[in-house]
């Protein structure tokens, strides 16, 4: 199995109000992921609030994670930045600290053209020597990859996989087929957007880049393994049982929900301002809902 397929778990990055990474809390989040047998860990993804962290804290988070994981689980690290030279520097540091691949999103203020995105990815891959996963997250970058653009990137040296937003289930087969037709044979195409991923896996998606797996790796691993085995009935049943959690993600954002759930576990993590914790009543509703689901 490729190191860029299967279940990739994306935890939050617990920090104090000043944005300093809480090493003990981060280790406490990562250890269960390793023990659950996830296929990779996505550190400093959007759920890991990479865009809000100072470069020193990003490097420190990678060092903490790499020391704990110790090669047992591939570590994929967010290296996105506004400037290409900054992304190259982050990717070099991530590689030196023990990352196996970088998650590169086309972060921008001025909207980027497709040629600019290709040049950006080529420069980061060439300048860092770190294998890169295309990180397509239009909800945060406001840039959307076409299949044709993904095909161009997939043929660049050093680009090893893609993380794409999962389509609505009704369009899963068409979307996956279009992406498959655009990229070289064997190029791994995985999906995010937890509530729609199972449908994408069942029609040929290679991986699940999962927010929920950051706290509930065994439950998400069971869904992934059922889909990989072609057991559609079991995968859909397990996914359907999580509908209340997916509803919470859609209503409040998966990031805010995960912070509320982390707080319920005693993890004193503060969302980076200007993001505020959800109101106490909403947090209580989230915790009560998830307890009824008996997630692991």
- pLDDT confidence tier of residue 273, bands split at 50, 70 and 90: very high
Average pLDDT of span 111-135: 98
For the chain, what is the mean pLDDT?
Answer: 97
- pLDDT confidence tier of residue 269, bands split at 50, 70 and 90: confident
Rounded-to-integer distance, Cα 145 and Cα 189, Å: 13
pLDDT at 1 over 70: no
50 a catalytic residue: no
Rounded-to-integer distance, Cα 77 and Cα 62, Å: 7
Angle at 214 between CA 213 and CA 216, to 5 degrees: 50
- pLDDT confidence tier of residue 192, bands split at 50, 70 and 90: very high
Query: What pLDDT shows up at residue 268?
Result: 85
Q: Which of 50, 163, 209, 259 is catalytic?
A: 163
Relative to beta strand 101-104, strand 132-135 is parallel
Q: What percent of the chain has pLDDT over 90?
A: 97
Average pLDDT of span 226-253: 98
Q: Does the 6-232 domain belong in CATH 3.30.1240.10?
A: no
The CA–CA distances, whole Å, from 62 to 44, 66, 101, 253, 292 equal 8, 6, 12, 25, 34
Q: What is the pLDDT of residues 94-112, one digit of tens each?
A: 999 999 999 999 999 999 9
Q: What is the pLDDT of residues 39-51, one digit of tens each?
A: 999 999 999 999 9
Rounded-to-integer distance, Cα 93 and Cα 211, Å: 24
What three-state secondary structure class fits 266? Answer: coil
Helix (H) or strand (E) holding 101: strand 101-104
Q: Which of 4, 135, 209, 259 is catalytic?
A: 135
- pLDDT confidence tier of residue 294, bands split at 50, 70 and 90: confident
Q: What is the pLDDT of residues 59-72, one digit of tens each?
A: 999 999 999 998 89
Going from N- to C-terminal start, the domains of the chain cover: 6-232
Q: What is the pLDDT of residues 137-155, one digit of tens each?
A: 999 999 999 999 999 999 9
Rounded-to-integer distance, Cα 222 and Cα 228, Å: 10
Rounded-to-integer distance, Cα 213 and Cα 218, Å: 8
209 a catalytic residue: no
pLDDT at 156 over 70: yes
Query: What pLDDT shows up at residue 228?
Result: 97
Query: Lowest-pLDDT range, 145-159, 209-223, 261-275?
Result: 261-275
The DSSP string of 52-96 is: GS-HHHHHHHHHHHHHHHTTSS-EEEE---SSHHHHHHHHHHHHH
Residues 6+ apart with CB under 8 A from 288: none
Average pLDDT of span 64-81: 95
């Amino acid at each position: 199995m490729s190191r860029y397929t299967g279940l990739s778990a994306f935890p939050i990055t617990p920090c104090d109000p000043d944005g300093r990474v809480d090493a003990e809390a981060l280790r406490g989040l990562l250890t269960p992921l390793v023990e659950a047998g996830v296929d990779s860990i996505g550190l400093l993804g959007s759920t890991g609030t990479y865009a809000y962290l100072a470069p020193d804290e990003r490097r420190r988070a990678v060092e903490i994670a790499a020391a704990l994981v110790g090669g047992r689980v591939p570590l994929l690290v967010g290296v996105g930045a506004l400037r290409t030279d900054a992304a190259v520097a982050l990717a070099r540091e991530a590689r030196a600290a023990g990352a196996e691949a970088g998650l590169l999103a086309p972060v921008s203020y001025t909207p980027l053209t497709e040629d600019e995105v290709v040049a950006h990815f080529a420069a980061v891959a060439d300048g860092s020597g770190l294998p890169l996963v295309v990180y397509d997250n239009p909800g945060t970058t406001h840039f959307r990859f076409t299949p044709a653009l993904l095909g161009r990137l997939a043929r660049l040296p050093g680009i090893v996989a893609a993380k794409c937003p999962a389509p609505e289930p009704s369009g899963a087969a068409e979307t996956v087929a279009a992406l498959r037709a655009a990229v070289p044979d064997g190029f791994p195409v995985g999906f995010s957007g937890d509530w729609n991923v199972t449908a994408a896996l069942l029609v040929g998606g290679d991986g699940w880049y999962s927010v929920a797996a950051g706290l509930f790796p065994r439950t998400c691993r069971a869904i992934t393994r059922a889909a990989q085995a072609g057991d559609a009935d079991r995968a859909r049943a397990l996914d359907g049982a999580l509908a209340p959690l997916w509803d919470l993600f859609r209503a409040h954002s998966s990031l805010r929900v995960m912070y509320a759930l982390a707080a319920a576990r005693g993890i004193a993590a503060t969302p980076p301002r200007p993001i505020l914790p959800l109101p106490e009543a909403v947090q209580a509703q989230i915790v009560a809902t998830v307890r009824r689901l008996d997630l692991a």
